[in-house]
Chains A and B, each alone.
Chain A
């Protein structure tokens, strides 16, 4: 096995950071967030879960799709595809699962979204096994696990004061060979992963339709604020809005960009059309749609359930709308 001390790991990451963009967990005003760093001296090594998932590296909050330049009657379009190579250190298994879910939508379903696909191709994931589960974590109930290496390129497990490293994919192999750190000669084995949680079962697709018109949705939605926090912190939510916006520097609209940015079906204007009609103007319709999309519609279209059990939405909701309560209700006979 490969074994590294923290110093060795930090030194290796520092060297990689000089060649590619290194993204690592930082403490920003008390929030753990993945941000680009030039070296590892501010990186947070011990944390349970970041506040925002790594989704924002691959599917940024705002992204330019193309540049639009108008001169007279002529229009020139320049697509702006991402080309940066990066490495993300400290990815949790739930986040990697979220990326696999988004892969099902953006890459495996035609047509391929080139912006997301290029970023996935150009990014290497270094995962970190969870040593403990947070009170709101339920990854094991959606088929994940705190030590699940699926989706990672290299998987690190905290062990004996350092890290045991498993090289999983070719991409992982490539960066591991950049600098002589991994010799595969250690006898140290990774610690067994922490106890799994039991209890909550994800109801299968088939039971969801019967509950569509239940009063439960109106009851739960009464306290929902229709903010969008839950969708934004979620590793697998992916709704977006597209619009053209003028850039400074030109006259009138001679220079603009087409951007896409995050949106959520919870927001009131989500389905409102020009003219004012909004087929989902009731809060319970919107809240219900979000859960059905995750556990019923998304699996039908793309395969996986669109939830990784990370629990971020539970912790972030200001009024305690709780996905596990929803799943408990649906699962009840």
Chain B
């Protein structure tokens, strides 16, 4: 529209849906082509950042960005779980519909600091979405990182996300993919059990290793307990991406604070050492 767009942080960029596909029960992947200057803003967003997606007429909500920049920031992916009023409206949309996108926001994973280290990515359910750009970054720059392990979990097989990409992940050199579900069905051929049980079975070494966890708060809590208490990791090695109800994403509305930290501005990526030092619990 006008270049005022760049100075009003509450005004979203327009985006057009170029692909909408079901990737799990009640979870859809939206591929959005950025318009009116948005591509430039998203040109070099980092894994771990998030953006607000607007279902015009209902509202907007924050979603983790689910891919690394493609085509110079032109197409941005979001995985949306249908749960409330905004996500329900988004699920009604199809290819060609317009949405709003405000971002990128937040601090992103310090991927440069992770170079030369072993990486373990632990995703639970829809929490896997913000981890996908991490996986893509490692795949695209394989030599920069050492051993790579992906632990992927969900309550049941129909809730696992990005199933059609698992083969590609497995084919990446020096990469292991471990899957687990809490409750299997007749089609399931892999492990059954909680993510914490899988983690203990895999038993990664803490030497020169970074873990990145994303999922429901309770899962983050128990995964961290296993890593620290049973596997010898220190909290500084464990990174997480947290979430909260947000309405501005730019540190003004005051809503997303976790103690002294604002999840939208100081996060959403934190090390567990930082989280542990906070007065308030994220649970």
Contacts and interface: CB of A to CB of B under 8 A. Distances in A.
A242 B253 contact: yes
Interface in B46-76: 54-61
A296 interface: yes
B257 interface: yes
B253 A212 contact: no
B252 A113 contact: yes
B262 interface: yes
B59 A243 contact: yes
A65 B11 CA distance: 8
| Chain B CB within 10 Å, residue with most, of A74, A239, A272 | A239
Interface string A177-217: 00000000000000000000000000000000100100000
Interface residues of B, number: 47
B56 A244 contact: yes
B268 to A, nearest CB: 14
B257 A297 contact: yes
A74 to B, nearest CB: 7
B250 interface: yes
Contacts of B217: 277, 279
A29 interface: no
A66 B8 CA distance: 11
At the interface, is chain B mostly helix, strand, loop or mixed?
Answer: loop
A134 interface: no
Given A68-B57, A242-B247, A244-B58, A105 B252 contact: yes
Contacts of B61: 274
B84 A239 contact: no
| Chain B CB within 10 Å, residue with most, of A75, A113, A115, A240 | A75
B255 A271 contact: yes
Contact of A301 (B7, B243, B262): B262
Given A105-B252, A113-B252, A114-B7, A244 B59 contact: yes
Given A77-B100, A212-B279, A274-B87, A265 B57 contact: no
A28 interface: no
B98 interface: yes
Interface in B258-283: 259-260, 262, 279-283
Contact of A279 (B85, B87, B244): B244
B57 A77 contact: no
A73 interface: yes
B25 to A, nearest CB: 15
Contacts of B8: 79, 81, 114
A265 B254 contact: yes
A292 interface: yes
A239 B254 contact: yes
B96 interface: yes
A271 B12 contact: no
A111 interface: yes
Contacts of A273: 84, 243-245
Interface string A270-295: 11111101010000010001001100
Contacts of B59: 242-244, 258
Given A70-B56, A253-B56, A271-B245, A240 B253 contact: yes
A70 B87 CA distance: 19
Contacts of B244: 271, 273, 279
A256 B55 CA distance: 11
Given A75-B98, A238-B253, 7 more contacts: A74-B98, A77-B12, A239-B253, A239-B254, A244-B59, A293-B254, A300-B260
Interface of B: 1, 4, 7-12, 14, 54-61, 83-87, 96-98, 100, 217, 243-245, 247-248, 250-255, 257, 259-260, 262, 279-283
Interface of A: 65-66, 68, 70, 73-75, 77, 79, 81, 105-106, 109, 111-115, 209, 212, 238-244, 246, 253, 256, 258, 260, 263, 265, 270-275, 277, 279, 285, 289, 292-293, 296-297, 300-301
21 contacts: A68-B56, A73-B96, A73-B98, A75-B56, A77-B1, A77-B12, A79-B10, A79-B11, A240-B252, A240-B253, A240-B254, A242-B253, A253-B57, A258-B10, A258-B54, A260-B247, A265-B255, A270-B245, A272-B245, A279-B282, A293-B257
Please list the 8 inter-chain residue pairs (A to B) with the smallest Cβ-Cβ separation, ordered nearest first: A274-B84, A253-B57, A111-B9, A274-B83, A239-B254, A75-B98, A242-B247, A212-B279
